[in-house]
Amino acid sequence: MTKVLVVATGNPGKLREMQAYLANSGWELTLKPEELEIEETGDTFAANAGLKASQIAQATGNWAIADDSGLQVDALNGAPGVYSARYGKNDSERIARVLNELGSEVNRQAQFVCVIAIANPHGEIFLQSEGVCRGVILHAPRGHRGFGYDPIFYVPEKQLTFAEMTPQLKRSLSHRGKAFTALLPQLALLSPES
């Protein structure tokens, strides 16, 4: 019996990224129906991930997985935070806004946070995990891989931005990678009948 997990996103890129993490999990991932739009009204990553997973599970009658993630910059009191995706019209606007708000600030410490939630077909949150990756915000973008704030998020231990890393290296270090690493052992114990 195939175990279907509906991904609470309309973004095929995010679906592919999740498939890479869950490749050997025994679950078949599928995009949520296009007409289902979930408004992210939570004030934390956990609240938004839970909201999306729960509502998609109830609407489809299947297990659902959702994540919410974003960038938190220490000197900006955690901004953009849950508003990371809405901090501008596109990636370059969002990056420009963060760099502009930081200005010549010396403290450029930041972190990417990702919370993943899985809900059963009744909409109850069954599993939740969090991953955090600390780094530094550069003064100018570097690299052409990835998306979002990747070109300005620098990981000192690797001396690379997320946008300069191979997808494999980024997966092993990133907030999303850490959240999935924490989630996988629990997911393996789940059966679709749970």
What residues have CB less than 8 Å from 150, skipping those under 6 apart?
Answer: 143, 161, 162, 163, 170
Q: Does 1 have pLDDT greater than 80? A: no
**67 belongs to the catalytic site:** no
What value, to the nearest 5°, has the Cα angle with vertex 34 and ends 67 and 193?
Answer: 60
Q: Does 194 have pLDDT greater than 50? A: no
The per-residue pLDDT for range 23-33, each reduced to its tens digit, is 888 888 999 98
The per-residue pLDDT for range 48-84, each reduced to its tens digit, is 999 999 999 999 999 999 999 999 999 999 999 999 9
pLDDT recorded at residue 2? 61
Helix (H) or strand (E) holding 22: none
Smallest CA-to-CA distance from 186 within 131, 133, 115, 129 is with 129
State the pLDDT confidence band at 191, using cuts at 50, 70 and 90: low
Q: Does 93 have pLDDT greater than 50? A: yes
What residues have CB less than 8 Å from 48, skipping those under 6 apart?
Answer: 40, 41, 42, 66, 68, 82, 115
Q: Does 124 have pLDDT greater than 80? A: yes
State the pLDDT confidence band at 99, using cuts at 50, 70 and 90: very high
Q: Put the strands of the sheet holding 3-7 in their side by side order.
A: 27-31, 3-7, 63-73, 109-119, 125-137, 153-155, 160-161
What domains can be seen in the chain, in order of their start residue? Answer: 3-188 (3.90.950.10)
User: Which of 67, 68, 74, 91 is an active site residue?
Assistant: 68
Residue pair 76/90 in contact by the 8 Å Cβ criterion: no
The per-residue pLDDT for range 6-49, each reduced to its tens digit, is 999 877 778 888 888 888 888 889 999 888 888 888 999 999 99
